[in-house]
Amino acid sequence: MGGPSVSAPLAEADDPRRPSRWVGGVLTASLLLIALAAVASLIPLPYAVMSPGPITNTLGTVDGQPIVQVEGSTEAAEGRLYFTTVRVLGGPGQRVTAFDLLGAALDPSQDVYDESRLFPPQSTRTQVQEENAAEMADSQQVAAAVAERAAGQEVGVHTEVTGVVDGAPASGVFDKGDVILAVDGVATSAPAQVREAVRARAPGDTISFTVRRAGAEVPLSVVAVARDGVASVGILMAGRYDLPTPVTIHAGAVGGPSAGLMFSLAIYDHLTPGALPGDQPIAGTGTISDDGSVGPIGGIRQKLAGARSGGARWFLAPADNCDEVVDHVPDGLRVVKVATFDQARAAVEAIAKAATGDLASCTR
């Protein structure tokens, strides 16, 4: 007879109502990631992200109003001469998060900068906007002066201080209404000349100025600080021109001096017969100085991308930006290197006539 049967112990079965350790671990990790993401979205970081902005036809209209109006002009604005812009996320009053930086890292048309390279230390959003607006107004007046001289008119100029950035080195030194006569002993007339003379120095340098105040010449000195990687003293300036032909420009909320070249070409187009760009979509950028020289700007790669996205086929680029242009030109866009208003005007005329074989590029 066989003995009593003995059953082997059964393994403990998992309770289907209770999650496994693996599932619990995944849930814990997911909750941790969500928490980290929430924190990352709230912590502001000291960076600024620059991306392509929209382009605007200087020969077009906004809300039915011409962007460029030249008093007495009988020339109908035709053609496309676009000024280009960038979008900047960050700086006073704006927050850049880890998600913004990740998006910029994945988008080749965006660049990330230390916030201090683009904005003055301790500046407010209002101060930045005021300075950008003053630079835009200045560039418009210079553009008008350059265009009218190119059209054969006589134009005079002087530089007036229109304000001082609170907390900047110039605060308490310059007065609103001062007329700047010289920088470091070199006579200046246009605001762009003053700005170039300051930027030729290094942050930390002491810069001397001569101003006319209440009819007398007054010497001043200011220690420069860094703004956008160059020397700055924090004065707001405007070129006061005796323009034979009054010009009004409606650029909306766009600030800064980088549309100067394209405004000068648009004004010249109004003052002269025919459509300067013909039927060609031409974009560009660059500051314009009183002597007609075209200066470099920031965000050239973003402006190239924005121009092509907006339908431009040609782009006028400052010669001093060429090192940033090479290897970053979007397909379908041809870049022309210009250093002066006259070169830019000649390039536009050549493009309109399809006589572009001799146009300079950033690679030759």
What is the DSSP secondary-structure string of 250-261?
--TT--SSTTHH
Could you tell me where the DSSP H helices lie in 90-242?
98-106, 115-118, 125-150, 191-199
Does the pLDDT of residue 65 top 90, yes or no?
no
- Residue 221 pairs in a beta bridge with 208
Q: What are the CA-CA distances from residue 3 to residues 9, 10, 119, 122, 307 (Å)?
A: 18, 21, 93, 93, 94
Q: What is the pLDDT of residues 208-262, one digit of tens each?
A: 999 999 999 999 999 999 988 889 999 999 878 889 999 999 888 788 889 999 9
Q: Answer positive or negative: Cα dihedral of 283, 133, 46, 322.
A: positive
Does the pLDDT of residue 330 top 50, yes or no?
yes
Does the pLDDT of residue 26 top 90, yes or no?
no
Could you tell me where the DSSP H helices lie in 151-245?
191-199
pLDDT band at 194 (very low <50, low <70, confident <90, very high): very high
What's this model's pTM, rounded to 2 decimal places?
Answer: 0.70
CB 168 within 8 A of CB 225: yes
Q: What are the CA-CA distances from residue 222 to residues 171, 174, 180 (Å)?
A: 9, 9, 13
Helix axes 260-271, 125-150, angle to 10 degrees: 40
Does the pLDDT of residue 1 top 60, yes or no?
no
Closest CA to 297 of 263, 281, 321: 321
* Cα gap 115→105, rounded to integer Å: 16
Tokens of 64: 């039915």
Neighbours of 148 (CB within 10 A): 22
Q: What are the CA-CA distances from residue 98 to residues 35, 49, 102, 119, 121 (Å)?
A: 14, 11, 6, 20, 22
Whole-number pLDDT of residue 198: 96
Whole-number pLDDT of residue 75: 62
pLDDT (mean) for 6-11: 46
Domains and their CATH numbers in the chain: 156-242 (2.30.42.10)
CB 156 within 8 A of CB 276: no
Give the range among 127-131, 143-147, 287-291 with minimum mean pLDDT. Answer: 127-131
Whole-number pLDDT of residue 8: 45
Q: Which residues contact 12 (CB under 8 A, 6 or more apart)?
A: none
Does the pLDDT of residue 15 top 80, yes or no?
no
- Residue 218 pairs in a beta bridge with 211
Collapsed DSSP state (helix, strand, coil) of residue 69: strand
DSSP, res 268? H
pLDDT (mean) for 337-363: 95
pLDDT (mean) for 93-98: 82
